[in-house]
């Protein structure tokens, strides 16, 4: 383009495009196109995450020694073949508990645990049993540490829960504010995308409520309706009863990576994700980025793989420009396969409007 954009500052703060592009790759693609199209502009890359897939890669360079950073998606993620191959009733959060136990054995006492992209819906039962909780059925036998085991549960005993947890700090990163149970809870909202059948939602919800009641009697506090309790199929709840503090994953990552410093003096911020929908408006990373941009005086553009048409009008109230990389009529599988080239075209669409936008 012939225009000179010297003095213009554009910050690229993309999330991962799940199933196709990491946050770093997406940010790199966007930045490369901007560098070609907007001569002399200052382009700053600040790839981000919100606690889900890709969080560990983004955060690792910024973490201090002695912090055990765990990305749940790496152990119980829906993207893992060993999870995807199992029926949701047979999936377990045990691998997360085993990872925490290994950290405790290594002397770790400060845990930062990112939730998001989980395949499990067992209310953290597997994780808790790996850490020493006993859960039995009406016959007095240990239940299996899976969702089916939660449905068979009669009572729990925490006397053997690993005592080193009492010495530990648990920081939980999540963008989900759902309670554990009910129409806005873990199973009703997120269960179907993990394979929970419609006819099973109510009984799973009731099993979670019963489990939460028994935990309340032991721990002395009711976390059922706490924002984020329904994150990752109830892992949010399980970590909170262990004393974990739930924080916004997006805000935590933005603060750690110095995003707010990068934002100073910016004209535009470009963010994006695989699919922007109603959940985006509930506090996912792009919304947090847009809010920060507004506060700094910068404009915000959303360039995502797909844009849910039902919420596009609402997104357009938040962002100055909303662009879908996937053309109308193309199916998602095709779009994922062509993610890089489609993102390049979408960024060029942004640049084509630059003379009017800057």
CB 28 within 8 A of CB 272: no
What residues contact residue 351 under an 8 Å CB cut-off, 6+ apart?
Answer: 1, 33, 34, 37, 38
Beta strand 169-174 pairing with 299-304: unpaired
pLDDT along the chain (358 residues), means of 10: 76 94 97 93 96 94 94 95 96 98 97 96 98 97 98 97 98 95 96 96 98 95 95 98 97 96 96 94 94 96 96 97 94 93 96 71
Q: Would you state the pLDDT for residue 358?
A: 64
Say if CB 67 and CB 35 are below 8 A apart: no
What CATH number was assigned to the domain covering residues 55-249?
Answer: 3.90.1510.10
CA distances from 140 to 92, 152, 155, 157, 161 (A): 21, 11, 9, 12, 18
pLDDT of residue 355: 62
Domain ranges of the chain: 9-46+258-357, 55-249
Structural contact between residues 271 and 27, judged by C-beta atoms closer than 8 angstroms: no
Question: What pLDDT score was predicted for residue 354?
Answer: 61
pLDDT of residue 2: 44
CATH number of 9-46+258-357: 3.40.50.10350
Give the 3-state secondary structure percentages of the chain, helix then strand then coil, rounded to 5: 45, 15, 40
Task: Give the residue from 248, 247, 228 showing the smallest Cα distance to 236.
Answer: 228
- pLDDT at position 357 is 65
Pairing relationship of beta strands 321-324 and 299-304 according to DSSP bridges: parallel
Residue with tokens 């750690």: 256
| Domain 9-46+258-357 matches domain 55-249 at the CATH topology level | no
């Amino acid at each position: 383009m012939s225009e000179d954009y010297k003095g213009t500052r554009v910050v690229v703060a993309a999330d991962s495009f799940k199933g196709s592009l990491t946050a770093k790759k997406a940010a790199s693609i966007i930045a490369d196109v901007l560098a070609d199209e907007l001569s002399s502009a200052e382009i700053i890359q600040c790839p981000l995450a919100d606690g889900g897939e890709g969080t560990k890669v983004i955060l690792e360079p910024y973490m201090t020694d002695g912090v055990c950073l765990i990305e749940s998606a790496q152990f119980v993620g829906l993207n893992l073949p060993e999870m995807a191959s199992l029926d949701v009733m047979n999936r377990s959060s045990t691998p997360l508990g085993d990872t925490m136990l290994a950290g405790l054995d290594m002397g770790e006492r400060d845990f930062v645990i990112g939730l998001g992209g989980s395949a499990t819906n067992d209310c953290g039962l597997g994780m808790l049993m790996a850490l020493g909780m006993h859960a039995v059925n009406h016959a007095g036998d240990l239940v299996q540490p899976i969702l089916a085991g939660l449905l068979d549960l009669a009572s729990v005993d925490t006397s053997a829960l690993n005592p080193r947890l009492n010495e530990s700090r648990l920081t939980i990163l999540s963008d989900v504010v759902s309670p554990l149970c009910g129409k806005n809870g873990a199973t009703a909202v997120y269960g179907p995308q993990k394979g929970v059948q419609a006819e099973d939602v109510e009984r799973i919800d009731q099993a979670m409520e019963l489990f939460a009641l028994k935990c309340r009697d032991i721990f002395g506090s009711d976390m059922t309706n706490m924002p984020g309790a329904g994150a990752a199929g109830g892992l949010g709840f399980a970590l909170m009863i262990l004393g974990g503090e739930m924080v916004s994953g997006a805000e935590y990552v933005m603060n750690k990576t110095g995003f707010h410093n990068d934002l100073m003096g910016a004209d535009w911020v470009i963010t994006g994700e695989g699919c922007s929908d109603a959940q985006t408006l509930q506090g996912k990373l792009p919304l947090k980025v847009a809010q920060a941009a507004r506060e700094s005086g910068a404009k915000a553009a959303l360039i995502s793989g797909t844009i849910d048409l039902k919420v596009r009008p609402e997104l357009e109230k938040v962002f100055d420009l909303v662009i879908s990389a996937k053309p109308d009529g193309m199916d998602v599988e095709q779009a994922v396969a062509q993610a890089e080239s489609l993102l390049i075209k979408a960024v060029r669409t942004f640049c084509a409007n630059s003379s009017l936008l800057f």
